[in-house]
Structure 1
Amino acid sequence: MTTEVRTVQAGEVIRYADGIRDVYASAFAAPPWNEDPAEADVYAERLARDALRPGFTAAVATAGGTVTGFATAWITPEVFPADRSYGQVAEALGPGRTRRWLCGALEVNELAVAPEAHGGGLGAALLDAVTGPAPDGRCWLLTSVRAEAALRLYERTGWRRVDAPVPGKAALVVLLGPRHPGREEAGDGDWDGR
């Protein structure tokens, strides 16, 4: 069966909400996420709100009419948020790097592939589809260092870890996209917040 990856806009992504919810539930039930299946319902509700964010884009993979993976992204606001994990990210990077690297950049919010679809390059295709419109190549994402398979995917596709641990029990790390202008500076170890 052939898998198709296509980019969808805000108004269209809701058509795929049930399949996205199912992929989310199966992808994030396993370690290191260990999410309760009910969290997939919460995500499906959040997806409708996220689709209203400036610069929202999504990529959906389907095979035989069934959603097998998805990715979502939007433009990070110029005033960096403080909710969710954003405050910890800003603390790790400092105000200067947060502003230069993340504000106004395309932020990959979610990327998930159904476990039965792993190993066929679907994650890389979804990531590529959703980050194509990144302004000046500026895109970034946040994941856990415990998500070893995800980190291998990101590094294999040219993403670079920022050498600044994000505080908190989730063991998060920021990654900059393959064309991000801050990539070279990301690993210099100079974390004084400039």
Structure 2
Amino acid sequence: MTTEVRTVGPGELNRYADGIRDVYASAFAAPPWNEDPAQADVYAERLARDALRPGFTAAVATDGGTVAGFATAWITPEAFPADRSYGQVAEALGAGRTRAWLCGALEVNELAVAPEAHGAGLGAALLEAVTGPAPGGRCWLLTSARAEAALRLYERTGWRRVDAPVPGKAALVVLLGPRHPGRAGAGSGR
């Protein structure tokens, strides 16, 4: 069968909800995430709320009707949030870079590919599907420095790490997308 990657609107997400939940559970059970499978149910509930965010976009990869991967993104508010890890990101970047690089930019929230589908280019295709329409090429994401496979994917597809360690136990790093105008000031690209 052929795997298809397509962008889906918030109204279509419910059609893929069970598959997205299953991919989330299998993708984030492994290190460095080590999430309990019950967290996939929490994510499924959060996804329904996230779909209401301004600029929300999602992409799914399906193989014979089975979800093999997904990605979600939305526009980061002009008033940078303080919940979740946002406060730590703002602390690491400072107010000026946070406002210039992240506010109003497309933020990739989740990207997951089922372990059995790794190596087929789905991660790159899903990432392009949700970031292609980023306003002015401005897109960013946050991941763990311990997520080595994810970091290899991002860097291979042109994303650049910001040289500003995010405080906290999660060892998070900010990456700017391949067409982001702030890349020149982001650091080494390592």
Q: TM-score, normalised by structure 1?
A: 0.96
In structure 2, how many angstroms separate the alpha carbons of the residues matched to 1:108 and 1:29?
20
What is the CA-CA distance between 1:51 and the residue it aligns to?
A: 0.2
Tell me the SS of whatever aligns to 2:181: coil
List structure 1 segments (4+ residues) > 2 angstroms apart after TM superposition.
none
Q: Can you list the C-alpha shifts for 1:51-108, whole angstroms capped at 9, x where unaligned?
A: 0000000000000100000000000000000000000000000000000000000000
Q: Does 1:22 align with 2:27?
A: no
What is the CA-CA distance between 1:186 and the residue it aligns to?
A: 0.5
What is the CA-CA distance between 1:11 and the residue it aligns to?
A: 1.1
Distance change (3 Å), C-alpha of 1:148 and 1:188: closer
In structure 1, how many angstroms separate the alpha carbons of the residues matched to 2:11 and 2:136?
25
In structure 1, how many angstroms separate the alpha carbons of the residues matched to 2:6 and 2:121?
14
What is the CA-CA distance between 1:134 and the residue it aligns to?
A: 0.3
Which residue of structure 1 lines up, in the alignment, with residue 88 of structure 2?
Answer: 88
Tell me the SS of whatever aligns to 2:87: helix
Tell me the SS of whatever aligns to 2:128: helix
- Unaligned runs of 5+ residues in structure 2 are none
What is the CA-CA distance between 1:162 and the residue it aligns to?
A: 0.1
- Unaligned runs of 5+ residues in structure 1 are none
In structure 2, how many angstroms separate the alpha carbons of the residues matched to 1:134 and 1:176?
12
Give the stretch that moved more between structures: 180-189 or 52-61. 180-189
| Kept in 1: contact 2:25–2:39 (CA 8 A) | yes
What is the CA-CA distance between 1:188 and the residue it aligns to?
A: 7.0
Distance change (3 Å), C-alpha of 1:90 and 1:6: same
In structure 2, how many angstroms separate the alpha carbons of the residues matched to 1:45 and 1:16?
13
Q: TM-score, normalised by structure 2?
A: 0.98
| Kept in 1: contact 2:141–2:175 (CA 8 A) | yes
Q: Can you list the C-alpha shifts for 1:16-75, whole angstroms capped at 9, x where unaligned?
A: 111000000000000000000000000000000000000000000000100000000000
Which residue of structure 2 lines up, in the alignment, with residue 182 of structure 1?
Answer: 182
| Kept in 1: contact 2:161–2:188 (CA 8 A) | no
In structure 1, how many angstroms separate the alpha carbons of the residues matched to 2:133 and 2:39?
29
| Aligned-residue identity in percent | 91
Cα root mean square deviation, aligned: 1.9
